Each structure stands twice: as C-alpha cells, then as structure tokens.
Structure 1
Amino acid sequence: MTLYKIDEVATECNLTKRTLRYYEEIGLVSPQRSDGNTRLYTREDIERLKKIISARDVLGFSLQELQRYIEVVEMLRGQRERYRSITDHEERRHQLEQIDQTLGEQLEMMEEKIRTIHSFKAEAEQLREQVRDGLARLNSEVEN
C-alpha cells in the first residue's frame, strides 16, 4: 500500500498543510503516523478528502455539516458492504431499508442547502426588481 506525506496530499487536494492538520484535529480525516510521527495518508484518505472538498465547495457545507455529511457517507459505505455479504433474503431487505433511510438523511442535508440557496436567490431577485423599478421611474422622470 502506497502512503503519502502531507506535502503530497496538500498538493493533490489543493489544501494547505495547516488545513489538513485541522481536518485531522476535528476528525474529518485520520492519517497514520510513521515511527518519526510523520502523517501518512492512504489513497482512501485522499479520496475522502476530495469528497470533503467537493461537499464543502459544491454544497456549501460548514465544517460541522461536513462532519455529519462524512459520517453519513461512511455509514452508507458500511451498509453497502454489509449488504453485499448478506445472503438471506429477509436480511438483505432489511439492509436495503437501512440504506434507503440513510440516503434519505443525506438527501435531506442537501435539500436544506438548496432551500437556503433558493431563499438567498429570492431575496436577491426581489432587490433586483426594486432596483429596476427605481431605474424605470427615474428614466421616465428624465423623459418627462
């Protein structure tokens, strides 16, 4: 298994070393340590960091929301792995129900962000409409 030092991970993920250390401190990532106490990251750690960055940038999640989102992602991964190992029909059904519930939680987190974005957009659209009305009034006063 290939292990990567913090400099390599920071470059690949476009993060600072300080950010990587902070993400470790708050539990978003848990790199291994060498005998000399150097942080060593696996390819899985790097992929996890890329998901964190994507959730942060695309979904606009705060660090607290990122922590919960990653918990849900990890829960889903575990549930999917368990599902693959189950052979009993009834147990498989139950596992799929759990996966469905977890996906519902993940989707609700995204929906909450979407509602917030729509609210901000509606405010900006309303303000823009007021500005345009003001411009139209001023333009008509100048013409008269």
Structure 2
Amino acid sequence: MTYFKIDDVAKETGLTKRTIRYYEEIGLIQPPDRTDGGTRLYTQEEINKLKRVVVAKDVLGFSLQELQYFISLNETIEQKRNEYRASRDENKLQELRELALNVQKQVELINMKMEKMQVFKKELEDLYTRANNVLNKGSSKTESR
C-alpha cells in the first residue's frame, strides 16, 4: 500500500495542513496511521475522502456540522449493511430502512441548496447583463462625442 505525507495530501486536495489536522480533530476523517516518529501517513482512500469533503463544503455549501452528519451517516449505513448481510435480522433491516430515509432527507437538502444556487446564479447573470448594458450605453455616448 502506498502512503502519503500530509504535505502531499495538502497539495493534492488544496487544503492546508492545518485544515487537514483540524478535520481529523473534529472527526471528519479518521486519524491516519503514523510512523514511529509521529508523521501522519495517508492512504489514497483517505485522500479521496478529503476531496469529497472539499467538494461538499465548497461546491455544495455544506457546513462542517452537515459534513460530520453526512460522514457519520455514511459510516453507519455501511456498518448496518454489513451487519444485515451477516445476520439477516429483521431489526437490522428496519435500521437500514430508517437510514435510507435519512439519506433521502440529505438528497432533498442538496436539491434545495441546488435550487437556491440556481436562483442566485440567475440573479447574478441578470445583474451582469444590466451592468454590461449600462457600460455599453455609456461607451456609445462617449464614442458619439
């Protein structure tokens, strides 16, 4: 398995080392393996997880609290799915149904955010068009002088 130091992870994810350590501290990512000297060693899977966090935070506008909930939910679903596969217990199946409902709520939250982003984008495009119209009218007046 290939391991990466925090400098490499920071370059690949666009995060600072401090942010990566903070995400570890608040539980967004699991603490990575360490060398005997204490150097953090990240796997490609951990780097990919950090990249998903960046996308969710920057692109979708998730708060850190929402991200923590999402990651916790994801880990819980994986755990419950494995437990259900191992036991086929009806209670485990019900827990999976409840988790699926929570995931659906998260999808609805993302859809609401995307709708709001589309409205905001349209407002910015309209503002840009109006500004250009004013600029074009102003430049045609100075050209006619």
Shorter-chain-normalised TM-score: which range? 0.5 to 0.7
Specify the alignment match of 1:107 in structure 2: 107
Q: Cα RMSD over matched residues?
A: 3.3
Render the CA deviation track for 1:67-107: whole Å, top value 9, x for unaligned. Answer: 2222222222223322322324x346424412322312321
Q: Is contact 1:72-1:106 (8 Å) kept?
A: no
What SS is found at the alignment partner of 2:38? coil
Are 1:87 and 2:99 an aligned pair? no
Specify the alignment match of 2:37 in structure 1: 36
What SS is found at the alignment partner of 1:60? coil
**Counterparts of 2:59 and 2:87 in 1: how far apart (Å)?**
35
AA aligned to 1:105 is K
AA aligned to 2:24 is E
What SS is found at the alignment partner of 1:4? coil
Identity percentage over the alignment? 47
Render the CA deviation track for 1:4-39: whole Å, top value 9, x for unaligned. Answer: 221222233333323322322332222233322211
Q: Is contact 1:76-1:99 (8 Å) kept?
A: yes
What SS is found at the alignment partner of 1:15? coil
Shift of 1:52: 0.8
Matched residue count: 138
Specify the alignment match of 1:3 in structure 2: 3
**Counterparts of 1:86 and 1:46 in 2: how far apart (Å)?**
32
1:75/1:129 CA distance change after superposition, 3 Å: same
* TM-score, length of structure 1 as denominator length: 0.68
Query: Structure 2: any 5+ residue segments left out of the alignment?
Result: 136-145
1:47/1:77 CA distance change after superposition, 3 Å: farther
Shift of 1:133: 9.8
Q: Is contact 1:79-1:98 (8 Å) kept?
A: no
Q: Is contact 2:77-2:96 (8 Å) kept?
A: no
Superposition pairs of residues 52-67 of structure 1, within 5 angstroms: 52-67=53-68
